[in-house]
Structure 1
Amino acid sequence: MNNNLQSCDPHKIAKKKILVIDDNLDILTLMQYSLQDIGGWDVMIASSGYEALIKVMAEKPDAIILDGIMPGMDSLTFLKELRKSPEVQSLPVVLVTGSISLTQHIRLLDLDVVGTITKPFNPIFLSEQIAQFLGWTMGG
């Protein structure tokens, strides 16, 4: 029997990894559980843009969910920094925000944001919205 075949378990399909960035711990926790429990994805969290940039480089997520307004490094600065790095510049980003002006919206389109979700959001439908923006199926 070939022992190399044992390491290829067809039932162990790698889950999509999402990095969620928000400075509000309650919202961060709510999104984490919603995306894990309903979406079925692996979720990493970061509470600042600086922390998120480190995690993006180390963990290589499949997508990013980004709070629109954060102290310190704001969302636009985070996106600009992300797009500078060739190895992660094409990561899809979904923006979650309670306030976005038309000017910001146009600038975000230039930075390849695949979609926006308005706060307050419904945690039951959050994974479905994310899946639609990313072209993913839930549970994988």
Structure 2
Amino acid sequence: MKKAMVVDDSSAIRQIERKYLEEMGFEVLEAENGEEALKVLNEHPDVQLILLDWHMPVMNGYEFLLKLRANPKWSDIKVMMVTTENQQKSVIDAILAGANEYLMKPFDKEMLETKIKFLLEGF
């Protein structure tokens, strides 16, 4: 089964993203900040997709992305930033740091599914 992780400090957003991902056939893990997400990844190295918020306490999405991409064992994980952060510089920074895709909040199920299918078309 495909495995995804939702990293967002909003439990409501995590629930929405979990529902959509489960409908797409994913087993879904959750974390409410980047630090927690690193712990989850160490316990579940088979995660294939991460939906990542930018603005979170403890460790934000950008900091998490830098740590994720610095570790070769996680180099194949696809990361989609899902955030309200819409400044062009932030989008570029995220892509340069290793994000594979970027989705602005608010979004709907069709938008999320389309981006995920594009990202994972090899699966």
Q: What's the TM-score, normalizing by structure 1?
A: 0.79
Relative contact order, higher structure (CA 8 A, sep 6+): 1
Q: Contact (CA 8 Å) 1:35, 1:43: kept in 2 or not?
A: yes
Q: Give yes or no for contact 2:33–2:61 (8 Å, CA) kept in 1.
A: no
Secondary structure of residue in 1 paired with 2:95: helix
Q: Does 1:54 align with 2:19?
A: no
**Residue of structure 1 in register with 2:8 after alignment:** 22
The aligned length equals: 122
1:45 to 30, 52, 70: 30
Kept in 1: contact 2:66–2:98 (CA 8 A)? no
- Give the counterpart of 2:64 among 41, 63, 78: 78
Identity across the alignment (%): 29
Question: Aligned Cα RMSD in Å?
Answer: 1.6
The one-letter code matched in structure 1 to 2:108 is: N
Q: In terms of Rg, which structure is larger?
A: 1
Q: CA deviation at 1:120?
A: 0.6
Q: 1:83, 1:90 within 8 Å by CA — same for their partners in 2?
A: no
1:123 partner letter? K
User: Which runs of 5 or more structure 2 residues have no equivalent in the other structure?
Assistant: none
1:1-140 alignment runs, 5 A limit: 15-37=1-23, 39-60=24-45, 61-135=47-121
TM-score normalised per structure 2: 0.89
Q: Which residue of 2 aligns with 1:9?
A: none
Q: Secondary structure at the match of 1:121?
A: coil
Q: Distance in 2 between matches of 1:99 and 1:106?
A: 11
